[in-house]
Amino acid sequence: MSWDSVIQSIKPEMESRHAAREAALKANREIIQICSRSIKNVHRRDYDAAKSLLDQARELASNARKATDDHPEIKYAGYLQDAEKELVEAAGCIALALGEQPPTADDLGVGPTSYLNGMGECASEMRRTVLDLMREGNFADAERIHKLMEAIYDDLTEFDFPDGLTGGLRRTCDALRAVIERTRSDLTLTKIQRDLMDTLNSQG
């Protein structure tokens, strides 16, 4: 086979890989945007909209994975990892806000690294929900979600493996720990202030 023939035989494969890569990158951006909107709707307590957007993101992720099935070097190169983490974060936020069990990695069709980091980011995101509940005086639900944040942190820290295997899970946990401590401080201080006001009002 001539050199030109060798080159020409390789070109279609490389073009196919390039197309799969571009499709994965495009899906990655779209999934992240949709999941971000889903999380915003969780904070607005529009859970129907949040779930609808999550369903859209899950379908896009599924189609993106199928599009790369013929190219494992693309499928497992991390092009969809950010999107998968955002997908887990959105699904986790919906579940925690509603007091439901978060979906599993298999439910969402994501790998363990994306799942663990996504749940860590979900727990950090729930700080906003805790603060909103505190402002409303709903300390029971605020404490419930704060305990879930702590439970997620405790479980994630058990995955003490090299960062190369966990996708930087240690950094995710460090960030989550700081969020939990700030939230605990805010929760404690607000409860003390509320109790003090209740005492003053009862004496008046």
Residue range 166-198, pLDDT digits in tens = 999 999 999 999 999 999 999 999 888 887 777
pLDDT computed for residue 204 by the predictor: 59
pLDDT at 1: 78
Give per-residue pLDDT as tens, 65-109.
887 877 777 767 677 889 999 999 999 999 999 999 999 999 999
Q: What is the DSSP letter of 102?
A: P
Looking at residue 171, what is its pLDDT?
A: 96
Q: Are 38 and 85 in contact (CB under 8 A)?
A: no
Please, what are the domains in the chain?
A: 14-110 (1.20.58.2140), 111-204 (1.20.58.2140)
Question: Residue 178's pLDDT is what?
Answer: 97
28 and 83 in contact (C-beta within 8 Å)? yes
**Nearest residue to 90 (alpha-carbon basis) of 58, 134, 132, 130:** 58
**Where is pLDDT greater, at 16 or 125?**
125
Q: Which residue, 138, 121, 156, is CA-closest to 39?
A: 121
Model pTM?
0.89
Sequence-distant (≥ 6) Cβ neighbours of residue 5 within 8 angstroms:
none
